[in-house]
């Protein structure tokens, strides 16, 4: 198993274990080794598991969002987004500088910079922010 797979598997296990601890805290442990879930928790979790994320109440979405942030951090997506944003800002500044010094930058360079910005936006999964000068 490679290191990245092991890292993600360990995160998956931590998230699962955290959920199991929370779930077992909402029930009754019996001497025979069985466990009974609290009726209120059963009703709430049954409703939540049958709902889509968008159907959850805002407060119910919090733990899902926290888990998503854990995955984004573990996979490096957050760092990639930050780097892409920094690069896009640099591209926008370069296009603006080319616009101010039109004799030094031809339309091909401006088009190439805009294409690079679009590629970064696509990689980041965001809407393209135009770098075309005003």
> Taking 90 as the threshold, does the pLDDT of residue 32 lie above it?
yes
- Would you state the pLDDT for residue 124? 64
- What values do phi and psi take at 27, rounded to 5? -165, -170
CA-based end-to-end distance of the chain: 51
Decide: 121 and 128 in contact? Cβ < 8 Å: yes
Query: Distance between CA 105 and CA 113 in Å, rounded?
Result: 11
pTM, full prediction: 0.57
Closest to 21 in 3D by CA, of 35, 8, 31: 35
Of 20-24, 63-67, 116-120, 126-130, give the lowest mean pLDDT range: 126-130
- Would you state the pLDDT for residue 131? 44
Non-local (6+) Cβ contacts of 48 within 8 A are: 56, 60
The residue behind tokens 């640099």 is 90
Which one has a higher pLDDT value, 111 or 21? Answer: 21
């Amino acid at each position: 198993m490679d290191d990245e797979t092991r890292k993600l598997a360990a995160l998956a296990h931590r998230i699962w274990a955290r959920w199991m601890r929370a779930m077992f805290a909402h029930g009754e442990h019996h001497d025979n080794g069985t466990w009974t879930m609290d009726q209120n928790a059963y009703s709430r979790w049954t409703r939540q598991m049958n709902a889509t994320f968008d159907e959850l109440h805002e407060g119910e979405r919090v733990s899902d969002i926290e888990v998503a942030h854990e995955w984004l951090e573990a996979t490096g997506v957050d760092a990639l987004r930050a780097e892409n944003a920094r690069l896009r800002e640099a591209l926008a500044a370069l296009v603006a500088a080319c616009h101010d010094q039109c004799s030094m930058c031809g339309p091909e360079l401006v088009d190439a910079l805009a294409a690079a910005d679009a590629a970064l936006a696509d990689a980041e999964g965001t809407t393209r922010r135009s770098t075309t000068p005003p």
